[in-house]
């Protein structure tokens, strides 16, 4: 999928394509879909093209929201684009599918605030600085029977994500998974990842997984808790 990406906006890579493939195959006609950390709008566009009825795209980056809006408009797709931190821009809206490709590469200097395109991948000391707040907030915005699709690498803890989603009462599975050589960013930080326990000694591969978590149709609705601003890195 060819998309406009202004300088400083992350161009979709293989991890995004995994979620795109799932959205293309499984989006139900008319469903409500939310793409968080949208970047170019790739996940929102995939859902809208697959027949979703009400699609939203969110990013904290002004340039990213411009790209998402333009890319949707060029394809004649109706996508609601909002700028803001995490899920705050949706208020108390509920969705059938919430999809996300958050920043998840452990940062070399966790305290430093990333700039430009680096905001799309820098995920703090363990790669979960934005992932964990997303996992805490997203289940509260799922409609009965709805699902979360989130992709990230084993260097930021796939099993930990599954546990957190299951603790929220969601039925969780790995919907898609591949093992690849470490990407350029992770490979350059391999020794640091070993020191932090994110990578076994000598390992130079990572698992990339799309985790799918469903809210049971009969689960009692929980009103969204008030959201505080999170210093988003993507």
Between CA 30 and CA 27 the distance in angstroms is 9
Residue 219: which pLDDT band, with cuts at 50, 70 and 90? low
Q: What is the pLDDT of residue 220?
A: 54
Q: Indicate left, alpha or beta for 124 from its phi (over 0: left) and psi (-120 to 50: alpha).
A: left
68-103 pLDDT per residue, tens: 999 999 999 999 999 999 999 999 999 999 999 999
Asked if the structure places residue 7 within a domain, the reply is no
Prediction pTM value: 0.89
Whether the Cβ atoms of residue 217 and residue 225 lie closer than 8 Å to each other = no
Between CA 95 and CA 78 the distance in angstroms is 16
Residue 21 has pLDDT above 50, yes or no: yes
Asked if the structure places residue 106 within a domain, the reply is yes
Residue 202: which pLDDT band, with cuts at 50, 70 and 90? confident
Q: Indicate left, alpha or beta for 157 from its phi (over 0: left) and psi (-120 to 50: alpha).
A: left
Asked if the structure places residue 230 within a domain, the reply is no
β-strand pairing of 54-59 with 32-36: parallel
User: How many other C-beta atoms lie within 10 A of the C-beta of residue 14?
Assistant: 11
Q: What is the CATH number of the domain that holds 201?
A: 3.40.50.150
Domain total of the chain: 1
What is the extent of the structural domain holding 18? Answer: 14-214
Residue 13 has pLDDT above 60, yes or no: yes
Asked if the structure places residue 80 within a domain, the reply is yes
Asked if the structure places residue 2 within a domain, the reply is no
């Amino acid at each position: 999928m060819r998309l406009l990406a202004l300088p400083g906006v992350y161009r979709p890579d293989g991890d995004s394509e995994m979620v795109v493939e799932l959205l293309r195959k499984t989006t139900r006609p008319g469903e409500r879909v939310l793409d968080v950390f949208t970047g170019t709008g790739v996940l929102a566009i995939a859902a809208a093209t697959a027949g979703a009825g009400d699609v939203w795209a969110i990013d904290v980056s002004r340039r990213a929201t411009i790209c998402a809006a333009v890319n949707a408009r060029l394809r004649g797709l109706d996508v609601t684009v909002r700028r803001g931190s995490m899920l705050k821009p949706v208020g108390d809206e509920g969705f059938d599918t919430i999809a996300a490709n958050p920043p998840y590469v452990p940062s070399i200097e966790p305290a430093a605030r990333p700039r430009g395109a680096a905001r799309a991948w820098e995920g703090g000391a363990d790669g979960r600085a934005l992932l964990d707040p997303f996992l805490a907030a997203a289940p509260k915005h799922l409609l009965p029977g709805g699902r979360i699709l989130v992709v990230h690498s084993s260097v930021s803890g796939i099993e930990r994500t599954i546990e957190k989603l299951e603790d929220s009462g969601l039925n969780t599975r790995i919907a898609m998974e591949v093992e690849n050589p470490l990407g350029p960013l992770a490979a350059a930080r391999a020794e640091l990842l070993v020191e932090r326990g994110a990578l076994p000694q000598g390992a130079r591969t990572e698992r990339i997984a799309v985790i799918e978590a469903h809210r049971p149709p009969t689960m009692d609705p929980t009103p969204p808790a008030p959201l505080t601003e999170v210093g988003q890195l993507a």
